Amino acid sequence: MNPPAWPSATELQTHRLVLEPLRVAHAEQAATAFADQTLHRYTGGHPATADELQQRYARQVVGHSPDGQHGWLNWMLRERRSDQLVGTLQATISQAADGSRSAELAWVVVDAHQGQRLAAEAATAAAAWISDQGTAVLVAHVHPDNVASAATAHRLGMTPTPALVDGEVEWRGSLASPSC
């Protein structure tokens, strides 16, 4: 079976943000913007260096997993007013045997810009765009203690399921009506 043709991320705009499709050239600025260890309090790991990000971004900008079975959409979140890089948004698209698609979303907003609902704003814009590309289901995995990400998932119309994936609660929802 041939891998599906996956959509490519395009620039999206919201009232406060520009969602820029990921480029390898983002690595230097991203290494500085995401250098805070507290961004890893729920996911583990450590802040990546510019070199590590260049390597990661070079793999991600391809737009699909190495086997072609998953589409990868990656955006950098830039505040329109200040032009600062304030976060990232990722969507991993999967296609079931019946042809239906789901998108697993993940977001990060730098500490200095948290509490402003920027993740919800960006994820709502991306979810609408992803829906237009033929995806009907959203999924997110949220650490049980990450109240802010749970609120973002809820604003997207997702609800928690009993499923735990790597210690994170799986949230699911339809793309029919995000309510941010």
> Residue 145's pLDDT is what?
94
Angstrom distance (rounded) from CA 40 to CA 26: 20
Domain extent listing, the chain:
12-21+69-174
> Residue 177's pLDDT is what?
44
Closest CA to 92 of 105, 101, 109: 105
- At 85-118, the pLDDT tens digits run 999 999 999 999 999 999 999 999 998 999 999 9
Angstrom distance (rounded) from CA 66 to CA 46: 25
Asked whether the predicted pLDDT for residue 168 surpasses 70, the reply is yes
> Residue 47's pLDDT is what?
87
CATH no. for 12-21+69-174: 3.40.630.30
Residue 10: pLDDT band with limits 50, 70, 90: very high
Output the pTM of the full model. Answer: 0.92
Instruction: Supply the mean pLDDT for the chain.
Output: 92
DSSP state of 2: P
- At 113-146, the pLDDT tens digits run 999 999 999 999 999 999 999 999 999 999 999 9
Query: Scanning the structure block, which residue is given the tokens 């990232």?
Result: 88
Q: What b-and-e string marks burial along 94-110, b requiring 16 or more CB atoms within 10 Å of the CB?
A: bbeeeeebbbbbbbbbb
> Residue 1's pLDDT is what?
57
Asked whether the predicted pLDDT for residue 180 surpasses 60, the reply is no
Half-sphere exposure of 175 (CA within 13 A, CB side): 23
C-alpha pair distances (Å), 73 with each of 21, 79, 107, 144, 162: 8, 19, 12, 25, 27
> Residue 176's pLDDT is what?
63
